[in-house]
């Protein structure tokens, strides 16, 4: 009996040591990948300076080093508006800082010149008075200032201000609270008049704005998804792990969006998962797909869903990991209709092993790369650790390696691993 106890303890110690060493190795490697992808070398993994494609080539090498059985690239093209050139703005002679005081709406043209400013009276809003004011000579070729959500809620009026023939104003300034954000989702076109986002502090009471801002529209710009495979013992079904590796790129010549949380964190996670399964041969084939073009309205995942390397009907479950570089003890997720048959197992595993305080299942939305699969009836879950201390930096220049957090990585890694083992 004593001998059996000693053997059991020895076995437990070996397993414990193996688990601890695996975790330590994964965490160090995970952080290494996040740091690399969010470095200046990749210029925010955007499009104008080739950062996304440079990151894709880096990931090809990392997946190969992880020991996967196959690494291929799937090319596709997008049309996208970018801002890699001049990015200078001043208000009443005070120079403003791009990414801090202002940013550009992704579909904005460039803007050059000095402009008077018209401030919309939102407390006593009268659209007829506004248009009458804007017809006065002193407001010819002006920039109209209004809070973003107010303009959004009065879209019919403000749409006139965005069209060349609708009003004599030169463009719009929309205020957004600090830290100022930047987007790419609707950058597949360029509108007629510029739209500048500014913080309320930067725009308060100003009378004139001087701008020297360039845009560059890229037509049929080539990107690619990185698709890797770890062969299992069975090939009739597969698991798929996805994350997007592109981000927002540049705002002018000097400013770039590092995107450590969004989504170097999720990309690093699927690389470490690929390494784990390469070392622990799975029952089923495993595919790990790093998408590009997500920040350009899910273009990479949509293209893949239309041109899959394995039939979508063979996917047992898909895990889309996005923005997990945070510390919220409640894990946010979205689940497709077909994926709901596995959701109870996620809750059971989390409740039993206390990976997170709870799972918060939100309404399915087209906010990340799971969506093109969900609408095609693929069982899938979207994992995003939002509303933690890092979330306030989402889509800002402050989403850097120094501000991303590692708290959610290990629990998500284990939750996904455990699910695959039991599903």
pLDDT, tens only, 70-116:
999 999 999 999 999 999 999 999 999 999 999 999 999 999 999 99
| Whether residue 42 sits in one domain with residue 136 | no
pLDDT of residue 163: 87
Is 25 a residue whose pLDDT tops 90? no
| Whether residue 175 sits in one domain with residue 296 | no
| Residue 225 belongs to some domain of the structure | yes
Cα–Cα distances in angstroms (integers) from residue 92 to residues 116, 201, 211, in the given order: 10, 13, 11
| Whether residue 228 sits in one domain with residue 361 | yes
Residue that is last in its domain, among 189, 213, 237 = 213
pLDDT of residue 134: 94
| Whether residue 392 sits in one domain with residue 243 | yes
Residue that is last in its domain, among 152, 182, 213 = 213
Cα–Cα distances in angstroms (integers) from residue 214 to residues 84, 128, 192, 206, 335, in the given order: 7, 33, 14, 23, 41
393's tokens: 């930096």
Is 420 a residue whose pLDDT tops 80? yes
Residue that is last in its domain, among 161, 195, 213 = 213
| Whether residue 276 sits in one domain with residue 377 | yes
> How would residue 166 be classed by pLDDT, with cut points 50, 70 and 90?
confident
Which domain covers residue 229, as residue numbers? 29-77+221-422
Domain with residue 290: its CATH number is 3.40.630.10
pLDDT of residue 26: 86
| Whether residue 259 sits in one domain with residue 340 | yes
Alpha-carbon gap, residue 204 to 6, rounded angstroms: 74
Q: Under a CB-based contact definition with an 8 Å cutoff, are residues 267 and 244 in contact? A: yes
| Residue 160 belongs to some domain of the structure | yes
Is 158 a residue whose pLDDT tops 50? yes
Alpha-carbon gap, residue 82 to 184, rounded angstroms: 9
Q: What is the mean pLDDT of the chain?
A: 94
| Residue 237 belongs to some domain of the structure | yes
| Whether residue 256 sits in one domain with residue 118 | no
> How would residue 20 be classed by pLDDT, with cut points 50, 70 and 90?
very low
User: Could you report the per-residue pLDDT of 179-235, keeping only the tens digit for each?
Assistant: 999 999 999 999 999 999 999 999 999 999 999 999 999 999 999 999 999 999 999
Q: Write down the pTM of the prediction.
A: 0.92
User: At residue 347, what are phi and psi to the nearest 5 degrees?
Assistant: -65, -40
| Whether residue 339 sits in one domain with residue 244 | yes
Number of domains in the chain: 2
| Whether residue 207 sits in one domain with residue 238 | no
| Residue 158 belongs to some domain of the structure | yes
% of residues, the chain, pLDDT over 70:
94
| Whether residue 260 sits in one domain with residue 187 | no
Cα–Cα distances in angstroms (integers) from residue 147 to residues 97, 111, 202, 384, in the given order: 19, 20, 13, 29
| Residue 3 belongs to some domain of the structure | no
Alpha-carbon gap, residue 39 to 29, rounded angstroms: 15
| Residue 103 belongs to some domain of the structure | yes
User: Could you report the per-residue pLDDT of 296-330, keeping only the tens digit for each?
Assistant: 999 999 999 999 999 999 999 999 999 999 999 99
| Residue 5 belongs to some domain of the structure | no
Is 4 a residue whose pLDDT tops 50? no
| Whether residue 382 sits in one domain with residue 234 | yes
| Residue 233 belongs to some domain of the structure | yes
| Whether residue 104 sits in one domain with residue 60 | no
pLDDT of residue 167: 87
Is residue 98 exposed (0-12), middle (13-18) or buried (19+ Cβ within 10 Å)?
buried
Domain with residue 92: its CATH number is 3.50.30
335's tokens: 């689940």
Mean local confidence (pLDDT), 110-135: 96
User: Could you report the per-residue pLDDT of 337-357, keeping only the tens digit for each?
Assistant: 999 999 999 999 999 999 999
% of residues, the chain, pLDDT over 90:
92
């Amino acid at each position: 009996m004593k001998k059996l106890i000693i053997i059991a303890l020895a076995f437990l110690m070996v397993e414990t040591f193996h688990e601890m060493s695996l975790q330590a190795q994964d965490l160090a490697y995970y952080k290494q990948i996040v740091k690399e992808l969010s470095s200046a070398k990749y210029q925010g993994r955007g499009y104008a300076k080739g950062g996304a494609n440079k990151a894709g080539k880096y990931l090809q090498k990392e997946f190969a080093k992880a020991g996967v059985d196959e690494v291929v690239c799937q090319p596709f093209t997008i049309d996208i508006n970018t801002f890699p050139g001049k990015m200078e703005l001043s208000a009443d002679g005070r120079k403003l800082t791009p990414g801090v005081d202002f940013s550009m709406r992704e579909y904005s043209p460039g803007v050059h010149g000095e402009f008077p400013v018209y401030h919309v009276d939102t407390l006593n809003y009268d659209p007829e008075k506004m248009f009458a004011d804007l017809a006065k000579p002193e407001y010819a070729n002006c920039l109209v200032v209004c809070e973003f959500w107010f303009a959004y809620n009065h879209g019919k009026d403000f749409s006139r201000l965005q069209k060349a023939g609708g009003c004599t104003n030169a463009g719009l300034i929309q205020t957004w609270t600090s830290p100022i954000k930047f987007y790419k989702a609707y950058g597949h076109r360029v509108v007629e008049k510029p739209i500048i986002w500014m913080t309320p502090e930067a725009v308060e009471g100003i009378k004139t704005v001087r701008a020297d801002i360039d845009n560059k529209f890229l037509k049929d710009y080539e990107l690619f998804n990185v698709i890797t495979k770890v062969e299992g013992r069975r090939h009739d079904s597969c698991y798929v792990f996805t994350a997007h590796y592109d981000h927002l790129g540049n705002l002018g010549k000097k400013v770039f969006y590092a995107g450590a949380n969004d989504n170097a964190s999720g990309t690093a996670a699927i690389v470490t998962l690929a390494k784990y399964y390469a070392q622990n041969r799975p029952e089923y084939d495993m595919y790990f797909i790093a998408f590009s073009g997500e920040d350009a309205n899910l273009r990479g995942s949509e293209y893949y869903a239309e041109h899959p390397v394995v039939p979508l009907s063979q996917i047992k479950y898909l895990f889309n990991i996005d923005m997990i570089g945070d510390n919220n003890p409640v894990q946010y997720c979205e689940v497709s209709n077909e994926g709901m048959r596995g959701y109870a197992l996620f809750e059971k595993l989390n409740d039993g092993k206390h990976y997170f305080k709870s799972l918060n299942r939100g309404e399915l939305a087209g906010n990340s790369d799971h969506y093109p699969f969900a609408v095609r009836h693929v069982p899938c879950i979207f994992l995003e650790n939002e509303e933690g201390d890092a979330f306030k930096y989402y889509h800002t220049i402050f989403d850097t390696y120094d501000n991303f957090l590692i708290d959610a990585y290990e629990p998500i890694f284990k939750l996904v691993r455990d699910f695959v083992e039991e599903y």
